Amino acid sequence: MPGDEESSTSDRRSPVRIRPPPDPLLIICRCFSFLTAVIALLCVFVNVLSAVRSFRDGSDIFGGIFRCYAVAIALFVAVLETEWSFIFKFWRVLEYWAGRGMLQIFVAVMTRAFPDVTDERKDLVLLQEIASYMLMACGLTYVISGILCIGFLKRARQHKAISREQAAKDLEELERRREELEALLINERS
């Protein structure tokens, strides 16, 4: 009976798939990466202000040059938090959290170095201290987490999540293709 065939094909269709919830560790890691990138951008901002002030006064050219290097490395730290594979291809050590944390600590120390000894810009010094201590905290968190192999666990879970997503996409594609073939088969029979 033709009605029975249609009901049996509709029964075989897969129900709506419910995707598993995202991994809480990956969510926490993404939030921490975002926070670290924002703090690194704050270090960029503070170092740019300090460099402009140094060059404008003309009193501390070497301090201004030092701040330019701090800006470049802090920008690199912010981009590094996007986990762009291009960067990891050339600097494999930064894929590991201990190495990434040590770079962040270095930028924090560069941001804190050469404080304003004349006390002319207390607001800038306060902003330098806030940015450097916050980035130092992020760097220490990365180093400690790296030592505890949290980064390895994150990469393993990330790989598993990507594999699961790809498998779900492949299965959906196969289901769609099967439905197309069944429709062609039914049209051939009629």
Same domain, 46 and 123: yes
Do the domain assignments include residue 13?
no
- Of the pLDDT bands very low, low, confident and very high (cuts 50, 70, 90), residue 170 is confident
Gap between the Cα atoms of 183 and 175, Å rounded? 12
Distance set, CA 54 to CA 50, 51, 159, 170 (Å): 6, 5, 46, 58
pLDDT at 7: 47
- The token duo for 120 is 């002319």
Euclidean distance between CA atoms 188 and 182, whole angstroms:
10
Report pLDDT digits (tens) over 17-70: 556 677 888 889 899 999 999 999 999 999 999 888 888 877 778 888 899 999
Residue 9: inside a domain: no
Residue with tokens 């192999």: 149
In a domain, residue 8? The reply is no
Read off the pLDDT of each residue in 120-140 and give the average, rounded to a whole number: 88
167 & 110 share domain: no
Q: Do 142 and 175 belong to one domain?
A: no
Same domain, 90 and 29: yes
Rounded Cα distance between 47 and 66, Å, is 9
Domains contained in the chain, number? 2
pLDDT of residue 115: 64
Residue 6 belongs to some domain of the structure: no
**Whether residue 156 has pLDDT greater than 70:** yes
Q: pLDDT at residue 16 above 60?
A: no
- Tally Cβ neighbours within 10 Å of residue 89: 9
Instruction: Give pLDDT tens digits for 103-112.
Output: 999 999 999 8
Mean pLDDT of the chain: 83
As a residue count, the chain comes to: 190
Verify that 48 and 139 share a domain, yes or no: yes
Higher pLDDT, 25 or 101: 101
Is 141 found in the same domain as 89?
A: yes
The domain in which residue 113 lies consists of 22-148
pTM: 0.73
Is pLDDT above 90 for 185? Answer: no
Q: Is residue 37 part of a domain?
A: yes
